Amino acid sequence: MKDRMTIAGKTWEWGRKTFIMGILNVTPDSFSDGGRFSNLEAALAQASRMKAEGADIIDIGGESTRPGATDTVTADEELRRIVPVIQRLSKDIEIPISVDTYKAKTARLAIGAGAHMINDVWGLKKDPEMAEVAASLKVPVCIMHNRETPVYANLMKDILLDLEQSLEIAFKAGVKEERIILDPGIGFGKTWEQSLLVMRNLEMLRELGFPVLLGASRKSFIGKTLGLEVQDRLEGTLAVTAIGIIKKVDIVRVHDVLGNVRVARMTDKIVR
């Protein structure tokens, strides 16, 4: 694995600390935020709060990609939601910005507006132009595992094979190894029991040789395990963050930045 990555001119050294990605959904139907940050000023205030609490990067999404979401958002609508936020944040807050999208057009114009990284929940497989966009713009890309249906012969082996297919797409398009991050896709194309199994075997992703992002904040596998609604999943999320760090993930993507920063710093001190 490459030992470092440059994002927005900042060097991230893997293995020395856990990086915190704050989630900023500017959508009216986010599964956890319920549209609280869908207007510009609210979104900017939340981004400032996350930075103050210790976020290393902010991930901005303009379409709900939660499993089961049925309303597909056009690239133009997605851009209408996210571009004003990205433009303001890139000028007002000195923190890298990631764009959460699987659409090549959205990624290209979001990077043009000031974002620095692409986070694709379909692992470069949904839009055939996405890998070329990432390669041509020379920005980091997070490749997440996903499937239409949660049917596997062998869960972990199949996830690794699927991610290897995404990596092949990336390399063929010219994406450099040092710009790739992998995400096991907790909750995506997986039952809640399968998500628990992925958590139990997270370290297997290291076999592919890339930094790993864990996005499990407030997700349904926590709710199913503990019998809790989304607003009550903080403690479960914190436990998952600690376990992820023990299993050597490099980035955690979270809604509640402050609590996760504290857990990450304490866990880092013990295990790193």
Going by C-alpha positions, the residue among 187, 196, 174, 189 that lies closest to residue 244 is 196
**Residue of 179, 190, 219, 247 with catalytic role:** 219
Instruction: Give the global pTM.
Output: 0.94
pLDDT confidence of residue 69 = 56
Q: Going by DSSP bridges, is the β-strand pair 117-120/97-100 parallel, antiparallel, or unpaired?
A: parallel
Q: Are 214 and 183 contacting, i.e. CB atoms less than 8 angstroms apart?
A: yes
81 catalytic? Reply is no
Token digits of residue 257: 């930045």
Q: What does residue 211 show for φ and ψ, rounded to 5 degrees?
A: -60, 150
Q: Are 118 and 103 contacting, i.e. CB atoms less than 8 angstroms apart?
A: no
2 catalytic? Reply is no
**Residue of 253, 262, 265, 269 with catalytic role:** 253
Per-residue pLDDT of the chain (272 residues; tens, 9 = 90+): 779 999 999 899 999 999 999 999 998 755 555 566 668 888 999 999 999 999 999 999 999 876 555 568 999 999 999 999 999 999 998 899 999 999 999 999 999 999 999 999 999 999 999 999 999 999 999 999 999 999 999 999 999 999 999 999 999 999 999 999 999 999 999 999 999 999 999 999 999 999 999 999 999 999 999 999 999 999 999 999 999 999 999 999 999 999 999 999 999 999 98
pLDDT confidence of residue 268 = 98
pLDDT confidence of residue 40 = 87
